[in-house]
Structure 1
């Protein structure tokens, strides 16, 4: 039995002294304090039966030295709550599975003895010494008693292979809610099987109507409740509910209402998909430990799926983030998406729902480079939906700061498929090295970004690269080529670059004359290959040369048909009238020029914006048609 003794003085470490019938063992000592020290000592009575006796400390415990010990305080150590088999007062005799009657004195207890099975005070155990269920004989070294303890304390949670160490108040509450739900669901399913007379549905027919809708509503409400609980508790509730309703079957009645969830099969499919979707998200987002996730997956495999739902049997087989193949792909160590594991080929194949969840998670964590590596090799079961994610790969490269690689990817793979909003978004990204602040699921999510953020260490693309991108897209994407706003952005980009608020200086007449045929040949060359701009063309007038390229591209577009609205596009030239004259020169010999001038005149007539005043300098239609 332990005692706490405060002593004054010093003792050498390991010293002990006799105290009457007990032995004082020094547990600690302070050598650093020269004046005094407080020691914890343990007294072990030789007479074990006299456990409550506190031996008196006498002078015999004190060494005969100049610095004698002085006992200033002593008391018996507190007796803490303990299992019956660990009681220091009442002896216990262990047996494997004796339940008929108490063994020896096992039913005797002290005030701190707990029942190992019930996990409460032995004095409160109702079957402590009852014949056939004697809990007083239980102990932790018996497989029988351990199984009984788990069954008693875990209840319905035992089927999930959980341990007592994993159980908390949330899980116990979830188990109680689940038991009540199963009882209610059983009654409702019985009512569904019995059906209701057709007359209650306003049908003048004989027979019963079997409507699964009330059962569906009951399960649906419980799943909603589960989603509001602690993450682990919610998962247990969802799987427990699935275990109950997945066994349901269609009634053999005559009539089924034409309601969305009146059919048992359709309702069960919808419900199990909801459960799978919830659990997949929890597993992928890292809400659970690896061990807990594995237990959920193993429980899901034990569900008795009917033949119609067998395809969902493996829906919860989600690779953990720690998976060897997945981890090597994310780190860039595996670019093929498969590996040999003990002679078997392991391929990175995942459900589309899991791929989308991983994409969301990696975006939230800013791991765009890893997301790019993952999407490049993963295989999935929905190619159409997967293509929408693949279309976002240039954006993920931009978000990772690899603007040049994203530029090349767009130029080679998606230039013909960009819509006007997407083109404008990418043009803004390349110009500013900023990206939208949002999690993207498909390409159209880029069309209307609400906010932007700078990309760390990213450098905006050069003006010449931006012009190449713009010309490439407008040449191969009819939607961009026919959109006035796209032309406004392209022309504005080069009309007033940094340092030229009042427009670009007019190039020399010789340069304009020589560049007239050159820009046409440059634009013609891009139909068969990437746009190549000769270096000498931009040596003297780099900004003016880029504006001439876009102006000629606009002229060629207008030769194929008018843009509407046209005047906002022409307004971009108000600071660079010399470029507007080049546009006129390219169009004046066209047979559609009269219609072009009529269109601009019509738009000027209904637009009172003073910014259009410079267009009054346009020559009248007659001066061109008379030529």
Structure 2
């Protein structure tokens, strides 16, 4: 006997997929309504076969609703959001008797957090990464955060994990009550401070025990209620106010340790890293750099690396106050004996900026030393002797800086510049006159022992030869030359370039010649250095042509004469290679013809340069004589 018309209207077909990924709609249940016109009605046959998918329908009956996730319910509509947990969206809280909770994996009617504010499992669905993570967390348990092996998780650990989840959920609920302004009953909390005090006797814990009527605060208006709520919230989080006696004495410089004795026990200025970062940012915005330094030196934190990163900026903040000597010492000496010094972590670019600040007494106006912008003078620069001593100690304390040619070129460039700095941050190079040979020998003789002391001792006194009142610039440059020579003798294999070091001498060719002459004492060092320069010249031809265009024929002539007149033929090859670059690119060197006059005036054409050098110089001069 066939079904009645009413039964026919209520008939439907249920297709259940066990793989959500294969479903085009992302649903676990798909209902096919027989009232819609289909091939079954049109053919009116008892059996219909779909040849494409090999589906044969032989019998239809009234659909029975199977268990399904709430978002798949066909009776109640569902609204999807990525991570809304405050309250039920739309009619998401409505359920049928077969709706399951996506998070708890049980009937929605049995879910204790179905509509709980700040949890709201009724909004969960499988298209949200947030809710998928929540589901995974609920299934795997809170113990996954401890990276425990599954074989190590026993019944006691699982019980502890359940208690932890319960605590997290209760905390979320209480926090949501605070957000909506619900009254919270007073509670007595156990004191966890050190030393542990009885309930009600600890000032820190007393703030946690305060009864706060949030609804009454709401009646005051948003502004007034915040003025009351925020201090109480900060107290509950152990965030001391700005007028706290310990904090104020630290900021004023009256307490350099960050600790004091209160009622027979020691109290420390101990704050979390986000609080420290916020205080530093506010003080820096107000340009209270002295207070920033005092605070960072005194405050303590569990996040040692985060606090160390903040303390690494102390030398820069000291420069902003004009105290460059203290800044130089802060780079080399850690805040406490357990940490390493800031010098171990500075970059080559930071090294150059610090030397520029020490040399000129100027600082960039921005809040960070690497920000582009104008520079201003804030104090007196370091004396030349102190500058070169501190710079070399920085290099000796950081191997990556010591083996970086940019750092050595920065040192030589800074020592060969005046202490006047343009607002743009550009230095003015000095053309130092070559000092007497006796003076050079005296400084070189004293340099060997001084450099060894700088590597091993904290307090080092400069010898009288370097403290010369009339030739202090030249003495410091000679000391740097000796330091570069030692570096080449020991660490040449680690060096990636040398041309920039040679160019850093500027017009002080006498100092560069002094360095090259000393390299000839070690054959392998000489060959290694020359090979580095030749490789640099070959790789940077276009850059060098632009540089020579700016420096002019006088500089290029001096540069060529320096290498072409070296007594070592290997060193002469640098001059010959440079001359070939110019000859091959005469269209880019309009100043090249002036080199002929320079060569004639220097008598270079008639010097006994050797066959190769003499031939190339004569060839170059003949090119312009024929024009």
Give TM-score scaled by structure 2 length: 0.52
Whether the 8 Å contact between 1:351 and 1:381 is mirrored in structure 2 is: yes
Whether the 8 Å contact between 2:82 and 2:128 is mirrored in structure 1 is: no
For residue 83 of structure 2, what is the aligned residue in structure 1? Answer: 216
For the pair 1:616 / 2:616, whether they are aligned, the reply is no
Whether the 8 Å contact between 1:337 and 1:347 is mirrored in structure 2 is: yes
The 2-side partners of 1:373 and 1:257 are apart by: 51
Deviation of 1:359 (Å): 0.4
Whether the 8 Å contact between 2:118 and 2:176 is mirrored in structure 1 is: no
For residue 5 of structure 2, what is the aligned residue in structure 1? Answer: none
For the pair 1:461 / 2:382, whether they are aligned, the reply is yes
1:509 counterpart (437, 443, 462): 437
1:386 counterpart (275, 284, 307): 307
The 2-side partners of 1:274 and 1:392 are apart by: 39
For residue 597 of structure 1, what is the aligned residue in structure 2? Answer: 530
For residue 566 of structure 1, what is the aligned residue in structure 2? Answer: 498
The 2-side partners of 1:289 and 1:365 are apart by: 24
For residue 259 of structure 1, what is the aligned residue in structure 2? Answer: 129
For the pair 1:248 / 2:118, whether they are aligned, the reply is yes
The 1-side partners of 2:483 and 2:348 are apart by: 17
Whether the 8 Å contact between 2:401 and 2:407 is mirrored in structure 1 is: yes
The 1-side partners of 2:503 and 2:310 are apart by: 38
SS at structure 2 position matched to 1:214: coil
Deviation of 1:264 (Å): 5.0
1:486 counterpart (395, 401, 407): 407
SS at structure 1 position matched to 2:504: helix
SS at structure 1 position matched to 2:118: coil
Give 1:330-479 correspondences, 5 Å limit. 330-341=251-262, 345-412=266-333, 413-439=341-367, 446=369, 448-454=370-376, 456=378, 458-479=379-400
Whether the 8 Å contact between 2:258 and 2:298 is mirrored in structure 1 is: yes
- Provide closer, same or farther for how the CA distance between residues 453 and 502 of structure 1 changes in structure 2, counting only shifts above 3 A: closer
For residue 68 of structure 2, what is the aligned residue in structure 1? Answer: 207
Deviation of 1:388 (Å): 0.7
For the pair 1:551 / 2:551, whether they are aligned, the reply is no
Whether the 8 Å contact between 1:209 and 1:257 is mirrored in structure 2 is: no
Whether the 8 Å contact between 2:343 and 2:394 is mirrored in structure 1 is: yes
Whether the 8 Å contact between 1:213 and 1:262 is mirrored in structure 2 is: no
Structure with max Cα Rg: 1
Q: 1:379-405 CA distances to partner (integer Å, 9 max, x unpaired)?
A: 223222111111111222222222211
Give 1:87-102 correspondences, 5 Å limit. none
For residue 243 of structure 2, what is the aligned residue in structure 1? Answer: 322
- Provide closer, same or farther for how the CA distance between residues 529 and 597 of structure 1 changes in structure 2, counting only shifts above 3 A: same
Whether the 8 Å contact between 1:348 and 1:377 is mirrored in structure 2 is: yes
RCO comparison, higher one (Cα < 8 Å, 6+): 1
- Provide closer, same or farther for how the CA distance between residues 573 and 340 of structure 1 changes in structure 2, counting only shifts above 3 A: closer
Deviation of 1:436 (Å): 3.2
- Provide closer, same or farther for how the CA distance between residues 469 and 256 of structure 1 changes in structure 2, counting only shifts above 3 A: same
Give 1:532-547 correspondences, 5 Å limit. 532-539=461-468, 541-547=471-477
The 2-side partners of 1:601 and 1:299 are apart by: 67
- Provide closer, same or farther for how the CA distance between residues 263 and 337 of structure 1 changes in structure 2, counting only shifts above 3 A: same
Deviation of 1:320 (Å): 1.7
Deviation of 1:297 (Å): 5.1
Q: 1:522-572 CA distances to partner (integer Å, 9 max, x unpaired)?
A: 112212114432123332521111010111111222222164332222123
- Provide closer, same or farther for how the CA distance between residues 451 and 255 of structure 1 changes in structure 2, counting only shifts above 3 A: closer
The 1-side partners of 2:501 and 2:525 are apart by: 18
The 2-side partners of 1:417 and 1:410 are apart by: 10
The 2-side partners of 1:557 and 1:407 are apart by: 22
Q: 1:467-488 CA distances to partner (integer Å, 9 max, x unpaired)?
A: 1122112222222223333222
RMSD of aligned Cα (Å)? 4.3
- Provide closer, same or farther for how the CA distance between residues 369 and 203 of structure 1 changes in structure 2, counting only shifts above 3 A: same
Give 1:99-118 correspondences, 5 Å limit. none
Give unmatched runs, 5+ long, in structure 2. Answer: 1-19, 30-66, 72-77, 90-113, 138-167, 179-221, 334-340, 421-427, 549-554, 573-627
- Provide closer, same or farther for how the CA distance between residues 345 and 582 of structure 1 changes in structure 2, counting only shifts above 3 A: closer
Deviation of 1:427 (Å): 1.4
